[in-house]
Amino acid sequence: MPMHHWDYLFAIGTIFAGLDAYMIGANDVANSFATSVSSKSLTLKQACLAAALMEFLGAVLVGARVTSTIKDGIIPAAAFKGNAGVQLLAFTCAIVASSSWLTIATRMSWPVSTTYSIVSAVIGVGIAAAGWKAPAWGWNGGKGVATIFAGFAIAPGIAGAFGIVIYSLVKFGVLVRQDSTRWALFTAPLVFFLVGAVSTMAIIFKGSPSLGLKDLPGNTLAAAIVGTAAVIALLSILFWLPFVHAKVIKKDYTIRWYHFFFGPLLWKREAPADAGAVDFVPNYHIRDANELDGGAKAPAPEGTDSEKGDEKEMDESSDPQAAAPPTNVSPLAAEVEAHPIDGPWILPKNIYIIVRYRAGPFILKALTHGSNVDIHKLQAGTEGSNGAARVAAVHARAKQYPNDTEHLYSFLQVFSACVASFAHGANDVSNAIGPFSVIYHVWSSGELSGSKTPVPVWALVFGAGMLVVGLATYGYNIMAVLGNRITLMSPSRGFSMELGSSITVILAAQYGIPVSTTMCIVGSTIGVSLCNGDWRATNWRAIGWIFMGWVMTVPIAATVSGCLMGIILNAPHF
């Protein structure tokens, strides 16, 4: 039965679990999509929508398996000596300490490890409750502290190795060849097969226990993986291949997104007579966005802001009235002035004006600010500053490849970003919901939470929802120090980084090890950056700050949670 005399602990735990999930979204979910947004494959709004879908699927379908490691693998239930109230207090203190540290780190734009934050906090309360011997310091069957902290070096190293292998295949198999666009086009089905296989393994090996997929015979699992990947590759041949061929090779500027579903019929579609006169492929170049490496002028995509700006200048030069200096009145202020309040504000018409034209737009702008930030401007740094000069020097040492070729990899990068987001939802939702599941179970049943305690699906949904909200409203603060701040981004590089990181996270989750997605994506980013052939193409100063944040997380989270637990547990009382 519920322990209502400890309702306040459950309430505190729920609030801070929500805050923890929110900050994980702002700090960690940004890792899954920072490369896609940085390389211009996705806008920030599109990234938020993709995350909303994939984080939910990953968290709800496969999130429970890794949650058990955070929940009971570090501190055994025996450490609380049969006192359910002490266990409830311990995990409440842990989630408070973890979420507080993540809030500070995110505010300071430090991409710390949210996994290490909650692990350190749980270690701290375990020591406060039962001494130094309470935490499972050893390997403990793959669930102890040593297993988790081994990922401090293993996760970035493995992810970096995968990133090097994948990008080397892309670079030397496609990018450096003559007519690289055609090579990218016709090798893409093989890449779709690879990504499809990785996605299938994520579902099978981390799948919902109720499906029992992991218990299938080995030959059945192999057939499922290869068969699903083959179907994805076949669909790419039937639908994706003719679509991008018409758009990129034929230069058919009349192609629209819905033509994708025409599939093979697009092979026979005639391109316009003036095909090629208009280049509507987006410009993915980050360095000197208006110029190619050879110094040639890069054509602006049709309908881009740069093109519209040129048209606007032409119109203004031909119209004397349009050439008048612009006013400093914002659209929101102009709308407010157009609807003045006449008479007491309490009148119904004035209340409507306040809600419709003043409070409403202001609230909407505040809520959508996080998805309308110019990430590339933030990553480039303040013009004229040392940081901006350092980033520009790093970018100058990385080669940029043709837009047409990069455009093809933008599709693959979005696909791999969704896989990374799925893996993140499965792996890192445990950082908030693992401790919360203990809090909920102890409060609702009055019993100690053990290794077999189920994680409620609604708790996973709650955690996944807060992850998405965190990304949409505050994720830009972490994206600003990732992506182009570390090295020059492009769809082909970003695809390799994301896929390398995803494979690492999925393999770790298969063995129940909650690795840090921050470490995986940073390691993969370094690996891909080294493929530029110049170690100075990586911003090692930025890497150093990120590494320092990882190291600081352990003592800070453990100390705060341990002190909080010790003070409350031993405080005088009547």
Ranges of each domain in the chain: 4-239+395-569
pLDDT of residue 330: 58
- Could you give the CA distance from residue 102 to residue 89 in angstroms, rounded to a whole number? 20
Tokens representing 111 are 């991409």
DSSP summary character for residue 341: -
What does the radius of gyration of the chain's CA atoms come to, in whole angstroms? Answer: 26
| Size of the chain in residues | 574
Which residues share a beta bridge with 480? none
CB 435 within 8 A of CB 70: yes
Contact present, 153 and 140 (Cβ < 8 Å): no
Which helix (H) or strand (E) element contains residue 227? helix 218-235
Q: Quick count: other Cβ atoms within 10 Å of Cβ 171? A: 21
Task: Report pLDDT for 199.
Answer: 75
The CA distance from 290 to 437, in Å, is 52
SS3 of residue 291 by DSSP: strand
Residue 503, pLDDT score: 85
CA 485 from chain centre, in angstroms, equals: 16
Q: Residue-wise over 257-295: b if at least 16 C-beta within 10 A, else e? A: eebbeebeebeeeebeeeeeeebbbbbbbbbeeeeeeee
Task: Say what the pLDDT of residue 211 is.
Answer: 56
- Please tell me the predicted confidence (pLDDT) of residue 305: 39
Task: Note down pLDDT in tens along the chain; length 574 residues.
Answer: 677 888 999 999 999 999 999 998 888 877 778 888 888 888 888 888 888 888 877 777 766 554 554 555 677 777 888 888 888 999 999 999 999 999 999 988 888 888 889 889 989 998 998 888 878 777 766 667 777 777 777 888 999 999 999 999 999 999 999 889 989 988 999 989 988 888 787 667 655 544 566 667 778 888 988 999 999 999 999 999 999 999 888 888 888 888 989 999 999 888 888 877 777 788 888 876 444 444 334 444 444 333 343 444 444 444 444 444 444 555 555 655 667 777 777 777 778 777 777 777 777 777 777 777 888 888 887 777 888 888 889 999 899 999 889 999 998 888 878 877 776 777 677 788 888 888 898 898 888 877 666 778 888 888 888 888 888 888 888 888 888 889 999 999 999 998 888 788 777 766 666 677 788 888 999 999 999 988 889 999 889 888 888 889 989 999 999 999 999 988 887 7
Sequence-separated (6 or more) residues with CB below 8 Å from residue 392: 287, 380
Contact 485, 542 (CB under 8 A): yes
3-state helix vs strand vs coil in the chain, percent to 5: 70, 0, 25
Residues sharing a CB contact under 8 Å with residue 324, sequence separation 6 or more, in sequence order: none
DSSP tag of 297 = B
- For 402, what's the count of Cα atoms within 13 Å in the CB-facing half-sphere? 17
| The two structure tokens encoding residue 174 | 């496609």
Q: Which two tokens stand for residue 554?
A: 């352990």
In whole angstroms, give the CA distance from residue 170 to residue 182: 13
The per-residue pLDDT for 468 is 84
Q: Which residue, 99, 98, 97, 106, is CA-closest to 29?
A: 106
Q: Please calculate the CA angle 110-487-407 and round it to the nearest 5 degrees.
A: 115
Q: Is the pTM of this model over 0.85?
A: no
Residue 108, burial from CB neighbour count under 10 angstroms (0-12, 13-18, 19+): exposed
